[in-house]
Amino acid sequence: MTRKTKLILLICLPLIGILAGYVLMARPVTITADGETSQVTTRALTVRGALRSAGIQLNPLDQVSPPAGSWLSKTTEIVLDRSRLVIIWVDPFGKLVEVNTSAKTPAGILSAAGITAAAADLTRIDGKPAALDETIPVSGALTLQYTPAIPLVLNLNGQPMTVRTTSSTVGQALWNANVQIRGGDALSLPFNTLITSASEVRVVRSVPLEISADGKTITTYAAADTVGEALARSGVTLQDLDYSKPIESEPLPADGKIQVVRVKEEIILQQKSVPYDTQFIADPDLELDQRKVVEPGSYGIQAARVRVRYENGVETSRKAEDTVTLKNPVTRVETYGTKIVLRTIDTPNGPMTYYRALTARVTSYSPCNSGVDKCYPSTAMGIPVKKGVLAVHLDWYRLLKGSKMYIPGYGVGIVADTGVYPYNHNWVDAGYTDAEFAAGGVVNGTFTVYFLAPFPATEPWILP
């Protein structure tokens, strides 16, 4: 063997060894790419080479385990998470963020975009809700909608609480916070109000009310500080003179009962007669108890403006505001006789002279039969009650005390007692003892009573 041949052999033998080693170095490797597993046999020296031999080209943001530059000598499995384009829609203003990432959960995708998500935040993948830690199937580019939760202060009947919500409106936020709103509850913001980071919603719970108005009873709920506010919220208005019980300015009653009183006033013109006065003039040429009309007299007429008040349709008051005399009354003028004419009447006891004769109701009484439960044996004048004693109205008694009268069927009696006569003054009680009264034969009826002479100085020309 020549020197040249030996030299060639020395050069080729290492190359032949390397080639033999390369042929003998081929090995199986398991590759899991985006969750899909495949087996490849490769003579690559590195992870990147093994992936390349499997036809997989790496992008800068792909995640490979072990790292792409690692030697393949001790590696039997390669895990690859390919990066993809994700468009992130950030609420509430619709800001768009694009990111290439291999993350498989919404939280990971947001983190890759520099967004730290909180537990109360809301994420949607292609419009469908997805939990922050939910694994997203690999299907190319996708859109992630991200709605960060913002603090909302809920003040319920004066008790504040803060919730984090992803709702866009007040109504949605209350619903999602399990705050039920019933008819009559008062909200500081309408349901469709958009929520901002500084939003506060005050809710005043309504209370049950029973409102009586216009002949009907309304059962409702209202949130109010005063009766007037509750009526307004319930659609019941007070107009003009209307009022409520309790009044508008008072707080809501404990029993929830409110009564509305509808008030109406009207002005009417009302006429009335004005009585006339009577003037009496003594006439010495006219006989006693006779009268003569000189001027008949006439009623006057007054017109009044009257304010009539009605409450719930019932008249409650009537008040005259001003009165005008349309016609003055004319005084009646009468003359009365003062001429005393003495006359005589024949009686069983002989002729008697009288100056006046009047028709009167005559009844009888005795000490224990005077129309009361008690016996009165003495008269107002202090003498015993017996036959010959007469009782008259107090007005007559003051004028005729001690004077005498003659009553047919009874005889002569002296005015010595008083009685009560509800109908008129022309009434005389004829006195008896109890024994005489019990024996019967007492007078009772309508008689002509004769006023015996002399004419008393205290008697007026006209008896009451």
| Domain closes at, from 337, 371, 398 | 337
Distance CA 288, CA 391 (A): 23
33 and 119 in one domain?
no
Q: How many domains does the chain have?
A: 6
30-35 average pLDDT score:
73
Helix, strand, coil shares of the chain as percentages rounded to 5? 15, 45, 40
Report residue 311 CA to chain centroid gap: 17
Residue 12 has pLDDT above 60, yes or no: no
Shortest CA distance to 281 belongs to which of 341, 355, 330, 331?
331
Peptide bond into 454 cis (omega under 30): yes
Residue 24 has pLDDT above 60, yes or no: no
Residue 18 has pLDDT above 70, yes or no: no
Amino acid in position 285: D
- Over residues 71-116, the pLDDT tens digits come to 887 777 887 777 677 888 887 667 888 888 778 888 888 888 888 8
Q: Is 449 exposed, middle or buried (0-12, 13-18, 19+ CB in 10 A)?
A: buried
Considering the domain boundaries, does residue 10 fall inside one? no
**Measured CA angle at 46 (ends 41, 49), to 5 deg:** 60
Residue 175 has pLDDT above 90, yes or no: no
Residue 341 DSSP label: -
Residue 398 backbone dihedrals phi, psi, to 5 degrees: -65, -25
Token pair 């005559």 is at which residue? 362
187 and 164 in one domain?
yes
Q: The domain spanning residue 314 has which CATH number?
A: 2.20.230.10
Residue 156 has pLDDT above 80, yes or no: yes
Considering the domain boundaries, does residue 461 fall inside one? no
Question: Can you give the pLDDT at residue 307?
Answer: 95
| pLDDT class of 21 with cuts at 50, 70, 90 | very low
CB-side neighbour CA atoms (13 Å) of 419:
29
Considering the domain boundaries, does residue 164 fall inside one? yes
Domain that holds residue 115: 84-147
> In this structure, what token pair is assigned to residue 394?
């107090």
280 and 188 in one domain?
no
Q: The domain spanning residue 388 has which CATH number?
A: 2.40.40
Considering the domain boundaries, does residue 374 fall inside one? yes
Q: How far is CA 213 from CA 206, 245, 335, in A?
A: 20, 11, 64
Considering the domain boundaries, does residue 360 fall inside one? yes
366 and 430 in one domain?
yes
- Over residues 327-372, the pLDDT tens digits come to 999 999 999 999 999 999 999 999 999 999 999 999 999 999 988 8
| Domain closes at, from 217, 243, 261 | 261
Across 123-127, 218-222, 257-261, the highest mean pLDDT is recorded for 257-261
224 and 176 in one domain?
no
Q: The domain spanning residue 68 has which CATH number?
A: 3.10.20
| Domain closes at, from 292, 320, 337 | 337
33-60 average pLDDT score:
77
Shortest CA distance to 419 belongs to which of 357, 354, 360?
360
Residue 11 has pLDDT above 80, yes or no: no
Considering the domain boundaries, does residue 464 fall inside one? no
- Averaged pLDDT of the chain: 86
Q: Is 100 exposed, middle or buried (0-12, 13-18, 19+ CB in 10 A)?
A: middle
- Over residues 273-290, the pLDDT tens digits come to 999 999 999 999 999 989
187 and 136 in one domain?
no
Considering the domain boundaries, does residue 2 fall inside one? no
257 and 270 in one domain?
no
347 and 322 in one domain?
no
Report residue 212 CA to chain centroid gap: 8
Bridge partner list, 408: none
Buried b (16+ CB within 10 A) or exposed e, 66-91: eebebebeebeebebbbbbebebebb
Question: Can you give the pLDDT at residue 70?
Answer: 80
End-to-end CA distance of the chain: 190
Sign (positive or negative) of CA dihedral 391, 392, 395, 398: negative
* Total Cβ atoms within 10 A of residue 28: 9
> In this structure, what token pair is assigned to residue 425?
């003054």
441 and 365 in one domain?
yes
Question: Can you give the pLDDT at residue 73?
Answer: 74
Residue 375 DSSP label: -
330 and 399 in one domain?
no
Question: Can you give the pLDDT at residue 366?
Answer: 96
445 and 351 in one domain?
yes
Whether the CB-CB separation of 332 and 293 falls below 8 Å is answered with: yes
Question: Can you give the pLDDT at residue 394?
Answer: 94
Whether the CB-CB separation of 415 and 405 falls below 8 Å is answered with: yes
Shortest CA distance to 451 belongs to which of 406, 410, 411?
406
Token pair 């909200």 is at which residue? 187
Residue 15 has pLDDT above 50, yes or no: no
447 and 355 in one domain?
yes
pTM of the model: 0.45
Q: The domain spanning residue 103 has which CATH number?
A: 3.10.20.90
Considering the domain boundaries, does residue 382 fall inside one? yes
Residue 168 has pLDDT above 70, yes or no: yes
